[in-house]
Amino acid sequence: MRRRRHVALLAAALLLCGHSSETQATSLSGDECRPTEPPTRYLVVFDQHTAAERAAREVGTACGELITYHDEIAVGVATSDDDRFAARLGEHRAFSTQRHDRDHPRTRPSTTTSPRPLAAADTAEDLTDRQWNLHAVHAEAAHTHQRGSSDVVVGVLDSGVDASHPDLVHAVSPDLSTSCLSGTPDSHRTTWETTSSAHGTHVAGILAAAADDRGVTGVAPGVKVASVRVIDDNGRVSPEAAVCGLLWAAEHDFTLVNGSFLVAPWSAPCAPEPGRAVVREAMERALRHAHGEGTLTVVAASNRATELGPAGSRADRSGCDAIPASLPDAVSVSASDRAGLKAGYSAYGLGAIDLTAPGGGGKDCVLSTVPGGYGTLCGTSMAAPHVTGVAALLASQRPDLSPDRLRDTLVATATPVPCPDDYDLTGNGTQNAYCEGYTGYNGFYGHGMVDAHAAVTAVSATQGGDATSDAVHPEDS
């Protein structure tokens, strides 16, 4: 485990700076701090390389308290009961999902959905013949070469995982699991394990369900899974939870992260809104840090059916973005249906999508584990863990591969998928979306459908070679 650099519960730092609950009565500007709203949690971005003591002092003088500080990326979590807290800190410094929800009440669709139940967990029936998704990515052929190593840990940043499920009990690592819902890790089992939310358990099953001739089989059935809870009971993800999850993964040497979630507290994905720049900056820093520490992050493109701007571009310059899918250090995955066509709900965009994988559509959703049994769900949330699973097989075969080389191998061995000649899903004569690009790289499918067998055999050919050399030479990267 790397040196623990995450700073939590900064009472000592606050005392060092001379800020206690009594000394915070007056702000730096001389205005008195006053309670004007319920205690509210904020994500706060500081100048790079800001020390914890200085961060605590800045928050204190703005009438808040620094609860958690990630000094490696200069991002913290603070609380305040003064409605002028963000204004005191300065523009583009702080954002509160809690306050935004209070100021802009609305009904929002949940990230999590109810699965179509198929069988109970105690069934002895082998359900793999119903996993059309495994055939689509050639996982079964790959398993003749590699089923995954327990040395590879995949962080499932999601709604929690049912660790008692018979298909997952071998895979889930309690010691590496935690909840990040508050923005601060809480590793009590009751906080990260769930038997009520299907989403995280379904994702974990696609990744790592046991290959034991019963139930379902995962793309990488031999790898370890860490349940890192970032999705709350309402199906939402706060930016501080997502940042916490990524930093936890980097700190604990996770090989991979699967992020089947969207950080979207705003009403419209394409309109500039207050706080978007703060959230994007914090997430960019967290992803960049995790990547630099050796963790590759694979994410869902989102189910908003919108055209995303190129990864790395700013939302205010290029239109729509999806966080984290639109960020440069994430491998963004669109969803394809059983026929291989981009699912109607899947986001897309030239330069935004890296790969595609089975997400399902209509009556052909993806079968996987759910608490107490098995069920089907559709979504880019289901597509992403196929790519993460293939990356886990690669890392099992070649532990020396860096995140960049893992990504390059996924891209180089994917099966190119051309833009469809016609994308009229309703038959009304109108195109539902427009695919830009060419066969080898386009806005619907990126570099193509991820291919587990091609990826594993590609790195097998270089087994024993120079660890610093490229495993493959991608033509389109």
For the record, the structure tokens of 459 come out as 């790195």
Decide which of 69, 103, 137 is a domain's last residue: 103
Asked, for residue 473, whether it belongs to a domain, the answer is no
Out of 265-279, 316-330, 395-409, the most confident range is: 395-409
CA-wise closest residue to 409 among 459, 461, 356: 459
Enter the tokens of residue 470. 């490229």
Residue 50 inside a domain? The answer is: yes
Percent of the chain with pLDDT over 90: 76
Does some domain include residue 59?
A: yes
Q: Which of 55, 82, 103 is a domain's end point?
A: 103
Give yes or no: residues 254 and 399 share one domain: yes
Do the Cβ atoms of 326 and 286 come closer than 8 Å? no
CA-CA distance, 72 to 244, in Å (whole number)?
Answer: 12
* CATH number of 442's domain: 3.40.50.200
Domain housing 210: 116-460
- Decide which of 103, 131, 157 is a domain's last residue: 103
Query: Model confidence at 476, in pLDDT bands (50, 70, 90)?
Result: very low
Q: Cis (ω within 30 of 0) for the bond into 221? A: no
pLDDT of res. 117: 74
pLDDT one-digit tens code per residue, 47-69: 999 999 999 999 999 999 999 99
pTM of the model: 0.91
The residues pairing with 336 across neighbouring beta strands, listed in sequence order, are: 342, 358
One domain, residues 309 and 367: yes
Q: What is the mean pLDDT of residues 212-230?
A: 97
Same domain, 91 and 165: no
Q: How many residues does the chain have?
A: 477
| Main-chain dihedrals φ then ψ at residue 211, nearest 5 degrees | -95, 80
Does residue 13 contact residue 53 with C-beta atoms inside 8 Å? yes
In contact, 251 and 375? CB cutoff 8 Å: no
Give residue 80's pLDDT band: very low, low, confident or very high (50, 70, 90).
Answer: very high
Q: How confident is the prediction for the chain on average, in pLDDT?
A: 88
In which region does residue 453 sit, left (phi positive, over 0), alpha (psi from -120 to 50) or beta (all else)?
Answer: alpha
With contact defined as beta carbons under 8 Å apart, do 276 and 266 qualify? yes
Please write the tens of the pLDDT for every residue from 83-113.
Answer: 999 999 987 899 999 998 887 765 444 444 6
Model pLDDT, residue 267: 65
Question: Is position 109 within any domain?
Answer: no
Mean pLDDT over 259-281 rounds to 83
Domain-located, residue 144: yes
Q: Residue 67 in 3-state DSSP? A: strand
Q: What is the pLDDT of residue 67?
A: 97
**Per-residue tokens: 195:** 């038997």
How many structural domains comprise the chain? 2
Average pLDDT over residues 343-352: 97
Co-location of 165 and 208 in the same domain: yes
Query: Does residue 476 sit within a domain?
Result: no
Residue 23 reports pLDDT greater than 70: no
pLDDT at residue 49, as a whole number: 94
pLDDT at 472 over 70: no
- 272 and 154 in one domain? yes
For residue 77, is it within any domain? yes
Specify the residue for token string 């974990």: 204
